[in-house]
Amino acid sequence: MFEQMGIPTFVIEALTFFVLLFVFAIGLVVLGTIILYVIDRTQTKHAVRRNFPVIGRGRYWMEHIGVFFRQYFFAMDREEMPFNREQRSYVYRAAKRDDTTLAFGSTRNLHTTGTIMFANCAFPTMRKDAVKTREVEVGPYCTTPYKTASLFNVSGMSYGALSKVAVEALSKGSAKAGAWMNTGEGGLSSYHLSGGGDIVFQIGTAKYGVRDENGNLSDDKLEALAAKENIRMFELKLAQGAKPGKGGILPGEKVSEEIAEIRGIKVGEDSISPNRHPEINDIESLLDSINHIRDVTGKPVGIKTVMGSFDWLDEMLQLIHKRGVESAPDFITIDSGDGGTGAAPMSLMDYMGLPIWESLPMVADRLNGFNLKDRIKIIASGKLITPADVAWALCMGADFVVSARGFMFSLGCIQALQCNKNTCPTGITTHDPKLQRGLVAADKAERVANYIEHVMYEVGVIAHSCGVKEPRELNRSHAIMVQDNGRPLPMSNIFPNQKEGSLM
């Protein structure tokens, strides 16, 4: 029939082939549906699939895909958690050197209780009167104190939690901008050193990178690290914002041979740190450990923690005066109860520890009350990713601000919430070479540097609008918070400055 219609033979053969292929495909679909029906009907783990075979599987797919639909289509610009679209967009624009100015008016609700604003003055600082951010010395009683003017630095993110290309980009970018980089508790890698910038080495509860065969702190390894000029300070990690009371968690699929060698652990096994340093049982042993590390390294040593109870802090500050101010930690990093991590139990992430907005002024007041504010520097951490966040922390008493997730955004993080898996689509928190390929370290290093420089510049803009000559002159009278009754109050009224020595 087709030949009588003048249709060429090869067309007839092609049509026949595609018809057979279509029938075969339909057969496969039918067969697959039958198999899935039998599997779903007989399995006992999922009630929805058992009661609604095949179509019940769509529920789990929609649940997964719904996260991304809400992020891109349904959520308002300022309502997402943990970071909303406006916060992420600011970092993206700053990192790319795109225009960060906005038109028409603010979309921020300035009337909500707890809203922070800044008190501009009648006569802001002129550019000719502005001065460079002053240099701060950390560890005056050390053999090698650390002096830096950098306000905004890279917080602790381990190689292992992050990919090697991400660590390399952060190292090179922070060095270019004159900021320091914290190693996180996973030890020191060649990627941390690739930029040649300043490094803070974090000592976690598992002592990765400075542990002996038995998992104890190794003085030999401490000395070897301290001999590196790039290593400027050591941070003894007591607690982390997203999981106070629990150690770090690195899934086994992320523990490669290289990471295992750096950390001193086994390949492919979950890397779970103890929930505290076994040898530190009280304030006495805490100060002993701080001073021991400082004696061995000759460099500043501080602690990182999350504030919940304040009794231990008061006890430590009292003991410091008995021992002598030289026995104090050189700095305290205050992490926020809503800090980030690659993996943490929801019970700790959602409910444990005070947010930085409450804890920072209280810690600064106690240091001032015990006349130790000049001796112990404060580093603020936890969701502080915009210039306004940094300026607020300086107003409250911080000497430095560090950020982790802000720098992840500068690398291109899209908040896909895949950090605890090996499937990060941007190559930042995965060790899959195919996914890492998307992150080009040289390009992202430029974005990291741009982000730091832009934040520093805009913090300066805020400071000058408040009438001070440089950001570290900001104080609590420059920040305002909206109260329940809608009236704004200066932070100096809400958290009155503790007089020096008033708690001694």
Q: Determine what percent of the chain is predicted with pLDDT higher than 70.
A: 94
How far apart (Å, rounded) are the C-alpha atoms in residues 96 and 449? 10
Q: Are strands 488-490 and 479-482 parallel, antiparallel or unpaired?
A: antiparallel
Residue 70: DSSP 8-state = I
CB 209 within 8 A of CB 231: no
Residue 253: DSSP 8-state = G
402 and 336 within one domain: yes
At 311, list the tokens: 């009794």
95 domain residue, yes or no: no
Residues spanned by the domain of 477: 124-494
* Residue from 64, 2, 134 nearest 416 by CA: 64
Q: What is the model's pTM?
A: 0.86
Q: Which residue, chain included where needed, has tokens 């007989």?
A: 42
At 437, list the tokens: 């390929």
Question: Tell me, what CATH number does 334's domain have?
Answer: 3.20.20.70
- What are the residues whose beta carbons fall under 8 Å from the beta carbon of 385, sequence distance 6 or more? 83, 87, 90, 91, 403, 405, 406, 409
- CA 245 and chain centroid, separation: 18
* Residue from 84, 136, 141 nearest 107 by CA: 84
Assess whether pLDDT exceeds 90 at residue 280: yes
How far apart (Å, rounded) are the C-alpha atoms in residues 197 and 30? 61
- The confidence score (pLDDT) of residue 415 equals 84
472 and 332 within one domain: yes
384 and 485 within one domain: yes
Give the residues across from 302 on adjacent strands: 235
57 domain residue, yes or no: yes
What H or E segment, with its residue span, contains residue 400? strand 400-403
272 and 349 within one domain: yes
- The confidence score (pLDDT) of residue 75 equals 65
Average pLDDT over residues 267-293: 91
How far apart (Å, rounded) are the C-alpha atoms in residues 281 and 432? 40
What are the distances in angstroms from CA 15 to CA 20, 25, 26, 29?
A: 9, 15, 16, 21
At 443, list the tokens: 């390009």
66 domain residue, yes or no: yes
Tens digit of each residue's pLDDT (9 = 90 or more) over 42-91: 988 888 888 888 888 887 777 767 666 666 666 666 667 777 778 888 89
CB 335 within 8 A of CB 263: no
Residue 281: DSSP 8-state = -
Average pLDDT over residues 475-490: 92
377 and 311 within one domain: yes
47 Ramachandran zone, left/alpha/beta (phi>0; psi -120 to 50) = alpha
464 and 368 within one domain: yes
104 domain residue, yes or no: no
Give the residues across from 488 on adjacent strands: 482
Tens digit of each residue's pLDDT (9 = 90 or more) over 242-268: 777 777 777 777 788 888 888 888 888
230 domain residue, yes or no: yes
178 domain residue, yes or no: yes
Tens digit of each residue's pLDDT (9 = 90 or more) over 196-206: 999 999 999 99
Tens digit of each residue's pLDDT (9 = 90 or more) over 347-383: 777 778 899 999 999 999 999 999 999 999 999 998 9
How far apart (Å, rounded) are the C-alpha atoms in residues 428 and 126? 41
3 domain residue, yes or no: no
431 and 368 within one domain: yes
CB 137 within 8 A of CB 146: yes
CB 466 within 8 A of CB 120: yes
Per-residue confidence band for 241, with pLDDT thresholds at 50, 70 and 90:
confident
Average pLDDT over residues 126-141: 92
Per-residue confidence band for 150, with pLDDT thresholds at 50, 70 and 90:
very high
Number of domains the chain contains: 2
Give the residues across from 116 on adjacent strands: 481
Residue 172: DSSP 8-state = H
145 and 65 within one domain: no
Q: Which long-range contacts (CB under 8 A, 24 or more apart) does 2-11 make?
A: none
Query: In this predicted model, which residue has the larger pLDDT, 410 or 111?
Result: 410
304 Ramachandran zone, left/alpha/beta (phi>0; psi -120 to 50) = beta
CB 400 within 8 A of CB 150: yes
Assess whether pLDDT exceeds 90 at residue 497: no
CA atoms within 13 A on the CB side of 131: 10
Q: Give the other-Cβ count within 10 Å of 55's Cβ.
A: 12
Average pLDDT over residues 324-333: 97
- The confidence score (pLDDT) of residue 343 equals 66
263 and 152 within one domain: yes
What H or E segment, with its residue span, contains residue 459? helix 441-465
285 and 423 within one domain: yes
Question: What is the residue-averaged pLDDT of the chain?
Answer: 89
144 domain residue, yes or no: yes
CB 382 within 8 A of CB 355: yes
How far apart (Å, rounded) are the C-alpha atoms in residues 151 and 148? 8
305 and 216 within one domain: yes
At 373, list the tokens: 């504010």
458 and 327 within one domain: yes
